[in-house]
Structures are given as structure tokens and as C-alpha cells.
Chains A and B, each alone.
Chain A
Amino acid sequence: MNFRTLKQLAELAETRNLTLGQLMLEEQCHETGEDKDTVFTQMQAYYEIMKSAVHQGLHTDTTSKSGLTGGDARKLMAYRTEGQSLLGDHASLSMSYALAVSEVNASMGRIIATPTAGSCGIIPGVFISSQERFAWTDEQMVYGLFASGAIGYVIANNSFISGAEGGCQAEVGSAIGMAAGALVDIRGGSPSQAIHAVGLALKNTLGLICDPVAGLVEIPCIVRNGFGAITALGAADMALAGVRSIIPSDEVVQVMLEVGSAMPESLRETAGGGLAQTPTGRKITSDLQHK
């Protein structure tokens, strides 16, 4: 890839007069030697799997193997349909979709890691709900996935994307940043606006710990995907309105690396701390062991 930082990514796109998504497609072709059709088709297939996961999460029983989670996406949809949502139609739909995909993941269904499985609900949640609202084409959405991939590529190579390495900020936080930047890109914001959205989003998730109860990607991972979808929409709106990340987004990525590295091991996906070690977390763990 011809960029290593978010700043370089935005500058490269602006110089070549491309969106982040278009630029990443070209960069990917250059990297692998494959033609645009092949690369685009693979991403399109991934988007179809995301749509299937949303559908599956809302229309089938998503009770997980542990029995701890499942069915929350449907509850949220029902509540939303009654016109009760405080967030409003669109945000609550994004949140329901994000929960749906994350529940499918917890029940060992088929999903796309974006960037990880623990954070697989956020991008489909905001992408698919926004597509319905703005009548975007599948082609636009697939370019959006390339944009989020470009952002994630920088974060992953300069910091981390796994909870075991950097806490949940690395998983859910990265996904929110990727989703926010990509939404700005799809909506026609400038590449630099998209990069500001990444910084705004990441700043709001710094220090987020990875503390899966009983070591399962269920509690609190699933609901964090729902909240993540809302944060992504908020960050995208702020950036599109002209709000800037005063701390440059690349510096925020560096801070994520520092914070994650300083985090004790107990808060990095070991189930040794955080919610996993609350009295209830320990009880759930012990009940499952004796099941």
C-alpha cells in the first residue's frame, strides 16, 4: 500500500481525486496483482454475507450455545416499531442491525470479521441501515467497505485490532472509526473529513477494556456493537458538519497503542478482570462450568 498513516491516506485520495473507497480498490489491485473485477466481486460477496447476517439475526433464534444471550435485536426492533425509540428511527435501526449480526456471531453463525468477529456488528449495522435510508446502491456500499478497510489497515498496522493485544478499544473502537470514516466517504464528504471522523470516533473509545464474561464473545461484546453503531453515526455526523478532531487522527491511533500496551493483562480478553470478574460475572462462569 502507498500509505502508512491516515494523513497519507487522505492526501493520496485528494491528490488522485478519488474517494477513500476508490483509492483502496486501486491500492488492493496493485498489492495483489488482481484485476478490479475480482477484488470488487470478493468484497461484494462479503457485503451479501453481512446482509444475510442482519436478516438471520432478526428472523431466527439467536440463542447462543451458552444460553446467555440472543433475541435482543428482535426486542429492539419490536420496541422501535412501536415508535418508542428515544434515538429515533434511523439510529435505532442501526443499533438493532448491529445487535443482530453480533448475536449471529455469538450463536456461531456466519459473519464477516470487520475488523474482528467481536466487532462484526458495527459496520453492517450502520451500512445496511444507512443504505435503506438513503437508497444507496450496493456498489456504493462495497466502495464504503473498501474505505473502512483502508482506515482499518492503518489502525491495525500502527496500533492493533485485537482485544487480546489492546483491549476492546482495538476491536469495537477500530470498527467504530472504520464505520464513521466510511460513512463520511459514502455520503460524499472529503477524504480529510472522513479521517476526522475516525479521530473523533477513536477518541471516544480510548481505554475501552476487553472483559468477556466467562471468556465468551457475548457479554458485553454484543451490546457494545449496538452502542458502537450509534457512536459511528455520531462521529460521521460531526465530521460531515465540519467538526474536526483537534488531536490529529494518527496521533489518536498512537495513543490507542500506548493505552492498550499499558493496560493490565486482566483487561485484555483474558476474562481475568472487568465485567468478567464481577460477582455476577464469576457466578455465570461457575454456572457454565458446572453445566
Chain B
Amino acid sequence: MRFKDVFSIIGPAMVGPSSSHTAGAARIGRTARHLFGECPSHAEILMFGSFAATYKGHGTDTAIVGGLLDMNTDDPGLPDAFAHALTAGMETNIRPGTGLYPHPNTVEIELSNAAGNRTLNMVGTSIGGGNIEIVRINGYHLKLTAVYPTLIIRHRDEPGVIAVVTRLLVDHHINIGHMSVDRKNRRGEAMMVLECDGKMHPAVIRQIEALSEVHDVTLLCL
């Protein structure tokens, strides 16, 4: 189901004016920030569809920047996100994108750090009422909603890696609600995304990280 529960319909608490363009946009920005793991020094933001047509009026740009600064949907500082970005040393470049896009409210975010050795490319869609779907991470076509504790695991495409990871989750009584996998090529680089129920014990993450086929693990918990 695209909309998961009662609070995806009633809620979120937010600062106006648009749940798709403000709350959803802020959540997409915040998801990118958490996937990136630190405050980026540079953000390229490409708007598509209704986002491209009306982002200035709705403050969608402001909301995404607020999200990148780790602000929540009802953060009173959200309308002043650009000023806060200046203070935080985050440069932003926002423009309409070209080409096809997966949803009427789509944004592509490219983040980099000051050293220039870390980047993140993420495509997110705002599907209504402040709910979002992330549909691409660093070129991998995956799906996550940022509603649940989510494991994003970069690994080698080898037989059994998924089984070992899910077995570790079983051992810790963690249930998987949704899962997606994509790979660059056979036996090459791959990524799996696991949306889980309940709390994620740090020990599980350490155990997954210790697997030889696993490159890195990110826990997204907004």
C-alpha cells in the first residue's frame, strides 16, 4: 500500500503551505541528509513536474534545504532555511530538471562534501499528504518510504548475501515489511533496502557490516 497507516492520512504536523511541496519536500531533503550522513557543503537540486512549475510559490526549495539541514516538517525554522544554510556553509543550486520523471512531484538531489570525496545522488517523489517515496539512490532503482527503520546495504552481488543478512535479522526478531534490491551488474555492485518493524539494535548493524560481501550499511531512522 502506498499509504501505510492513519498518520499518513491525518498528519504530519507541519508548517504550511503545502503537504506535497513543503512537508513531503522537507522529508525528502531530510532523507537525503541522513543517507549522506553529514551536512553537505554543496547541494544540486533538480525539480520536475509540479515541483518545477510551482516550487517558488510553495517554498519547495526552502523546504528541501530545510530537510537537508535535518529540520522536521513542523520545524519553525523551516521558512528561513536558506539563511540557516548560509550559516551552515551549505551552497545550493536549484533549477528545473529536463527529461522524464517518475511522478508529478519529483526532485533529484545531488550532495557533496567539502573534501569532494563523498557524493550522494537521490531521486525522491512526494506522493501526497507529506508522504514520500525514494525511488533512486546512487543510480540504484529501489523504493523506500522513510516511515520505518530502514537498512540501506551496499554489497557485492553474490549468491546468499541476502539470505545471510535476512537470517541475522531473524536472529534479532526483526521483521521485514518491504524489501527491494538492485544491482549494477551480475556479481558486481548491488544495493538492498530493507524496511523493518521495530527498533534496530546496533549489534545487528555491526554484524551485517562485518560480512565480507558488504561494503557499508546505513540505518535510516527519521
In the complex, the answer to whether A161 meets B104 with C-beta atoms within 8 Å is no
Count: A-B pairs, CB below 8 Å: 176
Contacts of B10 in A (CB 8 A): 43, 46, 112-115, 123, 145-146, 148-149, 152
A6 vs chain B, min Cβ distance (A): 14
In the complex, the answer to whether B128 meets A165 with C-beta atoms within 8 Å is yes
C-alpha gap A117/B21 in the complex (Å): 9
C-alpha gap A111/B127 in the complex (Å): 19
Contacts of A118 in B (CB 8 A): 17-19
- CB contact between B12 and one of A33, A104, A112 (< 8 Å): that residue: A112
C-alpha gap A152/B9 in the complex (Å): 6
Contacts of A212 in B (CB 8 A): 54, 57
A156 CB–B CB distance under 8 Å: yes
Contacts of B74 in A (CB 8 A): 110
Contacts of A178 in B (CB 8 A): 9
Contacts of B104 in A (CB 8 A): 162, 164-165, 265, 268-269
B15 CB–A CB distance under 8 Å: yes
Mask for B41-84, Cβ within 8 A of A = 1, else 0? 00000000110011111110000000000000010100100000
Task: Given A113-B130, A170-B128, A270-B54, verify A156-B17 contact (CB < 8 Å).
Answer: no
A132 CB–B CB distance under 8 Å: no
In the complex, the answer to whether B54 meets A160 with C-beta atoms within 8 Å is no
C-alpha gap A90/B76 in the complex (Å): 33
Contacts of B126 in A (CB 8 A): 162
C-alpha gap A32/B148 in the complex (Å): 10
In the complex, the answer to whether A110 meets B14 with C-beta atoms within 8 Å is yes
Contacts of B54 in A (CB 8 A): 212, 215-216, 269-271
C-alpha gap A142/B5 in the complex (Å): 16
The tally of residues in A whose CB lies under 8 Å from a CB in B reads 62
A69 vs chain B, min Cβ distance (A): 10
C-alpha gap A152/B126 in the complex (Å): 17
B11 CB–A CB distance under 8 Å: yes
Contacts of A24 in B (CB 8 A): 6
C-alpha gap A2/B194 in the complex (Å): 23
Quick one: which of B1, B18, B79, B127 has the most chain A CB within 10 A? B18
Task: Given A113-B129, A160-B128, verify A149-B6 contact (CB < 8 Å).
Answer: yes
A226 CB–B CB distance under 8 Å: no
C-alpha gap A40/B49 in the complex (Å): 37
Task: Given A113-B11, A214-B57, verify A108-B129 contact (CB < 8 Å).
Answer: no
Instruction: List 19 A-B residue pairs with CB atoms under 8 Å apart, sorted by A's residue number.
Output: A33-B197, A39-B6, A66-B57, A107-B16, A110-B74, A112-B12, A116-B20, A153-B8, A156-B9, A160-B128, A161-B129, A162-B126, A164-B49, A215-B54, A215-B56, A216-B57, A218-B17, A269-B20, A269-B50
Residues on A facing B (Cβ under 8 Å):
1, 24, 27-28, 31-33, 39, 42-43, 45-46, 49, 64, 66, 104-118, 120, 123, 145-146, 148-150, 152-153, 156-157, 160-165, 170, 178, 212, 214-218, 265, 268-272, 288
Closest 6 CB pairs of A and B: A215-B54, A162-B128, A215-B57, A105-B16, A152-B9, A149-B6
Residues on B facing A (Cβ under 8 Å):
1-23, 49-50, 53-59, 74, 76, 79, 103-105, 126-130, 197-198
